[in-house]
Amino acid sequence: MRQDTRDKVSSALDVNAIRGDFPILEREVYGKRLVYLDNAATSQKPRQVIDALVRYYESYNANIHRAVHALGEEATAAYEEAREKVARFIGAASSESVIFTRNTTEAINLVAYAWGRANVGEGDEIILTQMEHHSNLIPWQQLAAEKGATIRYIEIKPNGTLELGNLSALFGEHTKLLAMPHVSNSLGTINPAEEIVAEARKRGVTTLIDGAQAVPHMPVDVEAVGADFYAFSAHKMLGPTGVGVLYARRELLEEMAPFLGGGEMIRKVTFEGATWNDLPWKFEAGTPNIADVIAFGSAIDYLDALGMDNVRRHEVEVTTYAMERLRGLDDVTLYGPDEPDQRGGVVSFNYGDLHPHDVGTILDRHGVAIRAGHHCTQPLMRCLGVTGTARASFYIYNTRDEVDALIEGLKAARDFFK
């Protein structure tokens, strides 16, 4: 890479220094420098996060909460410190509202089972959007089928934003829940979650926001969003796989029955029954993912040091550049909002009559990793009239040069299939 372009990589972040923290970015794929543009699927991990995992296993590996020995106390302190970090990072009023799960999917299922089964009944309505990831669709379809409830979908406009019309007319008499993504994983659309949630609250409708594509990429304050439930995953924001977060309003968590039963979530157990532990442990049955939660704390430290405003600014810059360059190719169809400031760092597109898988395979051989397919949003793909799209998604370490590599790879794909 030439020095002069490196200096212009980003006005918000020191991308060269950041790249130095990610060992994987040094590797080659098929003899080419890795250009990783599949960050909406999972992000890469900085050395600080990898070191935190190693440090835990090498120096204070122990089970948490009940150990009377030094290792157990250290591990417990580190695990609970990570919870405090998460709470601060998302602006939660209390860390008791922060429950660790395996991933966003499990967080949503926790709500669908522990809250949904008790609060949604026959004839009730659930509102979702046409841009749901399957993880915020299937749990509600299962619940609706079981209870005889119905699901209504907020439609999308041709530009990939929600057809909201008159917000006050959105909710019906029997609407119990509104669940929607904060940012679409397929289109990048940033939805006006605060406005919709505010209207829902006026109507007494419970709300869940799938924040898997939001929290990693922009400042999110869950109290400002105002949703009853807010879910996201560690692995898309520099953390390890196997850790998700459910933020929930305390009153709801107190009313809800536990999702999973077992150790840790109980206060007193007899042969006749049990009483439940305090929040948040009531919802964390069994030995949790201690190492990965602790390392997730290091990921949050990393993002905090960069500043989420800067992360967002950098992504808007890279996304703007990518959209400009893609528009410069003949016959590229872009999906989602035209304005980069209305979308996250996700660009979905199709190139001429090339199928996204074929594009993905050729790009892969050029070292460029993108996503091709339906992105776990099959109903949305049908709305768009396609079986899939190619998707490039960016993060803190991506550069304009990497966008150029994507464009060169696309030209090669076009030439290949000429």
Stretch that binds other proteins, among 224-232, 268-276, 313-321, 360-368 (CB under 8 A): 360-368
387 binds other proteins (CB under 8 A): yes
Kindly tell me which residue out of 86, 238, 362, 369 binds other proteins, with binding defined by CB under 8 A: 362
CB of 382 to other proteins, least distance (A): 10
Alpha-carbon dihedral 68, 73, 75, 81, rounded to 10 degrees: 140
- Rounded CA gap, 95 and 253, in Å? 12
CB of 180 to other proteins, least distance (A): 23
Residues 6+ apart with CB under 8 A from 288: 64, 79, 100, 264
The bridge status of strand 206-210 relative to strand 175-181 is: parallel
Which of 240/409 has CB closer to other proteins? Answer: 409
Answer positive or negative: Cα dihedral of 73, 251, 141, 343.
negative
- 376 catalytic per annotation: yes
Residues counted in the chain:
418
- Interacting residues with other proteins between 14 and 73 (CB under 8 A): 28, 30-32
Kindly tell me which residue out of 181, 258, 344, 356 binds other proteins, with binding defined by CB under 8 A: 356
- List the structure tokens of 257: 């029955």
Kindly tell me which residue out of 137, 178, 231, 372 binds other proteins, with binding defined by CB under 8 A: 372
CB of 417 to other proteins, least distance (A): 7
Kindly tell me which residue out of 73, 80, 84, 358 binds other proteins, with binding defined by CB under 8 A: 358
Kindly tell me which residue out of 365, 401, 408, 414 binds other proteins, with binding defined by CB under 8 A: 365
Stretch that binds other proteins, among 138-146, 261-269, 303-311, 366-374 (CB under 8 A): 366-374
- Rounded CA gap, 10 and 308, in Å? 14
CB of 30 to other proteins, least distance (A): 6
Stretch that binds other proteins, among 9-17, 163-171, 222-230, 356-364 (CB under 8 A): 356-364
321 binds other proteins (CB under 8 A): no
Q: Partners of 233 in the beta sheet?
A: 244
CB of 214 to other proteins, least distance (A): 25
CB of 149 to other proteins, least distance (A): 26
Set 376, 386, 407, 412: catalytic member: 376
The bridge status of strand 28-29 relative to strand 332-335 is: unpaired
Which of 225/406 has CB closer to other proteins? Answer: 406
Distances (CA, A) of 259 to 144, 282, 372, 385: 18, 9, 35, 38
**Would you list the DSSP string of 196-265?**
HHHHHHHTT-EEEEE-TTTTTTS---HHHH--SEEEEESTTTTS-TT-EEEEE-HHHHHHSPPSS-SSSS
Question: What are the residue numbers of the active site?
Answer: 376
Residues that bind other proteins (CB under 8 A): 28, 30-32, 355-358, 361-362, 365, 372-374, 378, 381, 387-388, 416-417
